[in-house]
Structure 1
Amino acid sequence: MDMMVPYNSVPLVYQNILVVGANTPPGALGGVGNPRAFDARTGAKLWEFSSVPQPGSVGHDTWEGDSWKGRLGVNASPFYFTLDERRGLLYLPLASPIPGAYGGDRKGANLFGNSVIAVDVRTATYKWHFQTIHHDIWDHDPPAPPGLFDVVRNGRRIPALGVTTKSGYLYILNRETGQPIFGVEERPVPKSDVPGELAFPTQPFPVKPPPLARVRYRPEDLVTAADTTPEHARACAELVERNGGVSNAGPFTPWRFRAEGAPPASTLLFPGGLGGANWGGTASDPSTGYVFVATQDVGALGWIEKARDGSPVPYDKSSGGGRGTFDVRIADANWPCQKPPWGRLTAVNASTGNIAWQIRLGITEQLPEGKQNTGRPALAGPIVTAGGVLFIASSDDSRFRAFEAKTGRQLWVTRLERRGNADPITYQGRNGKQYVAVVATDTLAVYALP
């Protein structure tokens, strides 16, 4: 079976249906990022859903002129998909359009970019969509499929889902209709000064829950020696100076324009390119009604400048050849340059939209003991057992931790040989014992529960 367009992850398997996504990075050959389904018995293609709406379909009018034609990106590129088997609904998270940082050639909201779409798993018939970012210029797509759970509101049980984005927000939606359970407000956001760019004038902000990651930066947020060490504070001040100062106007700050020969001036974006939340997605606990999300707070530095000759667009993002992150290298580790926290684990009460608890996840062990609880960057997510224990091995301090799901109290911690970069799994062995396992970079670590 030749899929033509590659997909670098596992398929969703439902009866005889194999659902795959697509990975089409800049310069890739093969085609657009449509999700597709194949018959596991014959290899025949069953359906293909157009992630960029075609003429006459829902969302086509969100692309100005012919900007939809041959558009790469809007990939169905999560590491897995989710399915409501009872309702036959498949949930497809779709990524940002390509090129990403400059959108002057694709004015409009650009559906179904940065959206979650519900389709019939057998036919791909469109049911509903929800767009988390209009006209994305930050690559802040939903990197993981939504988690499914139920919400109790006014004595009524509502089938719901939670979709996380790199932009730092958790959207809780009715999974039958796509309607936000706690409301979403379209709020004005800053304009772009890039020639030809027309940043979307509003973005969708969930009324609840509040942001789960840092979404703004002020000068007083720069780390000080009292927060960490004099060496760290000095290195961060020098980073800001080398970038000509940094500007941030709050959520959805656009990349500022730097003309040829102009003095350095940089945008500082929170969250950065890896989020917020990343591929770990959500976990949920039916007994408490809590939804759990791991996030990181590492900013991104950059600006928009004239593109090189031969580029498909006239302007592109640059960070001057550096890493483009708001952190510095200290003692063989990357330390972010704003005051901690730098990584968090949050429990949200899905029936109220309020934060039930939030803790710093991870330690910076090179710091003095009283300052180590900074939180650390994290990409993967947690799992929760029926016994009310949450496991996570995501932070870059290479720890595997267990928490009481109801309170966030740490129950157990061990050090892994390498960083845990996947969501854990739990299972029962032939001997009747329960185990929890996690991939730590290139090693599988397995532990028996008492």
Structure 2
Amino acid sequence: MDFSFILMSNTKFTFLSWGPLVVQVVLVLITGCQTPTKEIAEHTTWSHYGGSPDQSKFFESPSITKSNVGEMELLWNYPSGDDRFYFFNPIIVDSTMFVLGKNSSLIAIHARTGKELWIHTDLSGITRRGINYWESGDKKDRRLLFTLNNSLQAIDAVTGKSIMDFGDNGYVDLREGLDRDPTSVTQIQSMMPGVVYDDLLILGSAPGESYFSPPGHVRAYNVVTGKLEWTFHTIPRPGEYGYETWPKDAYKYVGGVNVWSEISVDTERGIAYLPIGSPTYDYYGGDRLGSNLFANSLVAVDAKTGERLWHYQTVHHDLWDYDLSPAPQLLTVDKDGKKVDAVAIATKHGFVFVFDRVTGEPIFPIEEKPFPKSEMPGEESWPTQPITSLPSFTRHEVTEENLNPYFSDSLRQDWLKRLDSTKSGLYEPPSDKYETIIMPGALGGANYGNTAGDPQNGILYILTQEYASIYRLNKLEPTKKELTKNDVDKVRSLYESSCIACHGPNMEGGAGPSLKNLGHHMFYEEFRNTVVNGKGVMPGLVHVDETSLKALFQFLGGDPERRSFRRGEQQGEPIDGPVVASGGVIVPPDVQRGAPMQEYPQGVEHPETRYTTDYGLDWPGLIDPPWSSIIAYDLNEGTIKWRQPVGVDSLYVQGDKTKGAPNGTQRKGMVITSTGIVFSTAKGGKVYAFDAENGNVLWETTLSHETNAQPSMFSLDGKEYLVINATSDFRSDSYDHSKKPGAVAKGYLVYGIPDKK
């Protein structure tokens, strides 16, 4: 049954037989309406992760135009201060820029000069990709909100000091309110910051993707008190809409179904758009038979109350880890001569779905089409999947014709034989009998940070990469619940299979940083968050159990029980400058860790055998390039306006003809300007300025370090500036190392048009 076009109003479910006009009137009455000038004002600042609550990455930039963008230069830079990688998106308020730097410190700097205003140091475990800013109407109360080791905290944006009357003695325990024993929640905070709307912080989560991970319910907290104001149950409880799309007890043990990326808000109407991810377990769903709402769904909720207004599920009963990752883009499109306020979502598997922002009605047709049936025991794959009429932006199959043409003859012959014994194609269910090559795979298509929009002109921009995953299911063997120091040696195989390629056989580094003495400057919680969620170009190892994670940490010289460092021990270099505080508020140790669920609740029916697989990322260059592109969709016409390859295709710059590494757009971002410029970052430290009309390159530069963060833009004294976080080290295949760019200290780089002399 298709539940996609049902609205919920209080206790009644009403089908959209009224017609879009009546529904729009009803929704306006429910949510209220603000003046249209507010949306325009939002795009003149960059106080949110994506610039504004709509996450459009759109900016009013009158001083940087197509005619002068070629004159852009590096005006100043703020060094990050140590050897760590930071993936932080700077936000700018008035003349102050907030960054994350040396020793995991939040730092306020002057946006014109880079002068440090205050430093709040040693926030180990803080949300890696950004923070939230809120100010009261009179601007007397200004605060930064962020998550840190499973807690929500606030800092005074003026003084840099922790706000101790926020929550319970300065923190909110994010493990609470998830329908699980809080002590079983080992991780819940997202690597993304959430979004501020009025006096609410709407927050997603990253609960992990293992069996029995916690559910990813979306929650809103009061920015002043920390009080939980509403919860949207992404896995419905008994009596709630969508409950019947799961087994009756699934809400007790299924996890995920979380928003781990960007939440977009229509501030005029007070509607939040939630791009919801996959359920656990990603690749086998024998214990979650059904279509599994609200997994893999775009859900519109009342931003004030969390009440569901409408939803659309883009993948039924997901078996491919096809999370909805990028920000939903809020655009006004000209459809059949009428202006329609729309929301567009791009997916990992290369589709764009577009809906009326208020009613949820598709603007371009969507058809349910049949796909292969799973042959796994206990599994019941969904017989159909929704396919939009808009052109796809990725390929969906690996064939003899599109194999990488740079393969040697012997390697090509090996792959031709391998293809004979595998299955490849869109929605091909994973199997334990043979390999399935899914195109695109877990890191393909559009990922978080990879969409932007021109809100008034109906143009959607997408960064995408062609990256296959190769899956084969295996029975999940039971793991030990206890860990002793003697177990550390047994984790060596995990290091050799997952870590050695980048960090070296002696942990001295290579493509990745050195891990020597890691345990002397990192707590276990930060280590766990890094391994599970990924960092830089490193994918997250989400299926590694807690026991193995602790053993790996010990193998690297760490102590999982360590809560503090002795005098003389440092988590980083000593901090110079205006330090106002160190560390977060005091949070009980049990908030930062837990003993995860290991089995189904007593009395719950479940399959006898569970299956698992890795992400299958061993062959990133399996098909022919280009692997990474930027695409402009004209959603007025329903066509791809232009497409350009981006980044260093890295193809064998070291003479290695066996593997490439696309990753050209993963963890990258864009800024769209009102003057028709598309700024984009890409692999190899590349920064481009494209002509928004035709995709022509207007300006290009190569950074001295990699960027793995969303760029920002701000205006000060009538001039606009572009900010790039360039704090990551290059991989060995990121560029031709014989032509390395000139040395600039890694840090936050501010570009602009220099003043004429």
1:267 aligned onto 2:436: yes
Cα offset for 1:177?
A: 1.2
1:32 aligned onto 2:215: yes
Q: Residues of 2 paired with 1:292 and 1:436: CA distance?
A: 18
1:300 aligned onto 2:469: yes
Q: Residues of 1 paired with 2:456 and 2:290: CA distance?
A: 43
Q: Residues of 1 paired with 2:281 and 2:228: CA distance?
A: 29
Q: Residues of 2 paired with 1:212 and 1:357: CA distance?
A: 11
Worse overlay, 58-67 or 113-122: 58-67
Q: Which residue of 2 aligns with 1:388?
A: 676
Worse overlay, 127-136 or 380-389: 380-389
Question: Cα distance 1:294–1:234, how it changes in 2: closer, same or farther (>3 A)?
Answer: farther
1:140 aligned onto 2:322: yes
Cα offset for 1:214?
A: 1.6
Q: Residues of 1 paired with 2:363 and 2:410: CA distance?
A: 45
Cα offset for 1:10?
A: 1.2
Identity among equivalent positions (%) equals: 33
Of residues 260, 264, 275, the one that matches 1:77 is 260
Q: Deviations over 1:224-245 (max 9, x none)?
A: 2xxx3x54x6446546757884
Cα offset for 1:145?
A: 2.6
1:359 aligned onto 2:644: yes
Question: Cα distance 1:26–1:153, how it changes in 2: closer, same or farther (>3 A)?
Answer: closer
1:257 aligned onto 2:432: yes
Q: Residues of 2 paired with 1:359 and 1:375: CA distance?
A: 15
On the 8 A contact 1:163/1:281 being kept in 2, the answer is no
1:62 aligned onto 2:261: no
Matches within 5 A, 1:12-411: 12-26=195-209, 31-78=214-261, 80-208=262-390, 210-224=391-405, 228=406, 231=408, 234-235=410-411, 237-238=413-414, 245-248=421-424, 250-258=425-433, 265-286=434-455, 288-309=457-478, 314-318=609-613, 324-325=616-617, 327=619, 336-364=621-649, 377-379=664-666, 380-393=668-681, 395-411=682-698
Q: If each structure's helix is expressed as a fraction of its own residues, which one has the higher value?
A: 2
Question: Cα distance 1:364–1:32, how it changes in 2: closer, same or farther (>3 A)?
Answer: closer
SS at match of 1:97: coil
Cα offset for 1:32?
A: 2.1
Question: Cα distance 1:19–1:422, how it changes in 2: closer, same or farther (>3 A)?
Answer: same
SS at match of 2:472: strand
Q: Residues of 2 paired with 1:28 and 1:130: CA distance?
A: 25
Q: Deviations over 1:419-445 (max 9, x none)?
A: 322222211134x32111122344322
On the 8 A contact 2:348/2:445 being kept in 1, the answer is yes
Q: Which residue of 2 aligns with 1:435?
A: 721
Q: Which residue of 1 aligns with 2:141?
A: none
Of residues 719, 734, 748, the one that matches 1:444 is 748
Q: Residues of 1 paired with 2:174 and 2:457: CA distance?
A: 44
Worse overlay, 266-275 or 64-73: 64-73
Q: Deviations over 1:384-406 (max 9, x none)?
A: 1111010111x323211111011
Tell me the amino acid that sits aligned with residue 192 of structure 1. Answer: S
Q: Which residue of 1 aligns with 2:173?
A: 3
Cα offset for 1:81?
A: 1.5
Q: Which residue of 1 aligns with 2:701?
A: 414
Q: Residues of 2 paired with 1:144 and 1:178: CA distance?
A: 18
On the 8 A contact 1:193/1:257 being kept in 2, the answer is no
Normalising to structure 2: TM-score of the pair? 0.53
Ranges in structure 1 where 5+ consecutive residues have no aligned partner: 259-264, 328-334, 369-373
Question: Cα distance 1:4–1:237, how it changes in 2: closer, same or farther (>3 A)?
Answer: farther
Tell me the amino acid that sits aligned with residue 189 of structure 1. Answer: F
Question: Cα distance 1:414–1:33, how it changes in 2: closer, same or farther (>3 A)?
Answer: same
Question: Cα distance 1:349–1:102, how it changes in 2: closer, same or farther (>3 A)?
Answer: same
Q: Which residue of 1 aligns with 2:501?
A: none
Tell me the amino acid that sits aligned with residue 685 of structure 2. Answer: S
Tell me the amino acid that sits aligned with residue 477 of structure 2. Answer: R
Q: Which residue of 1 aligns with 2:509?
A: none
Q: Residues of 1 paired with 2:214 and 2:437: CA distance?
A: 33
Q: Residues of 2 paired with 1:115 and 1:83: CA distance?
A: 16
Question: Cα distance 1:317–1:235, how it changes in 2: closer, same or farther (>3 A)?
Answer: farther
Cα offset for 1:337?
A: 1.6
SS at match of 1:73: coil
On the 8 A contact 1:346/1:355 being kept in 2, the answer is yes
Tell me the amino acid that sits aligned with residue 37 of structure 1. Answer: A
On the 8 A contact 2:204/2:219 being kept in 1, the answer is yes
Q: Residues of 1 paired with 2:625 and 2:327: CA distance?
A: 28
Q: If each structure's strand is expressed as a fraction of its own residues, which one has the higher value?
A: 1
On the 8 A contact 2:320/2:442 being kept in 1, the answer is yes
Q: Which residue of 2 aligns with 1:262?
A: none
Q: Deviations over 1:134-170 (max 9, x none)?
A: 0011111111230111111122111111112212111
Q: Residues of 1 paired with 2:196 and 2:457: CA distance?
A: 29
SS at match of 1:61: helix
Q: Residues of 1 paired with 2:463 and 2:210: CA distance?
A: 32
On the 8 A contact 2:329/2:343 being kept in 1, the answer is yes
Normalising to structure 1: TM-score of the pair? 0.87
Cα offset for 1:376?
A: 6.0
Give the structure, 1 or 2, with the largest relative contact order (CA under 8 Å, sep 6 or more): 2
Cα offset for 1:52?
A: 0.6
Tell me the amino acid that sits aligned with residue 721 of structure 2. Answer: Y
Q: Deviations over 1:231-289 (max 9, x none)?
A: 4x6446546757884321x211111222xxxxxx3111111111210012421225653
On the 8 A contact 2:722/2:751 being kept in 1, the answer is yes
Q: Residues of 2 paired with 1:376 and 1:195: CA distance?
A: 34
Question: Cα distance 1:53–1:178, how it changes in 2: closer, same or farther (>3 A)?
Answer: same
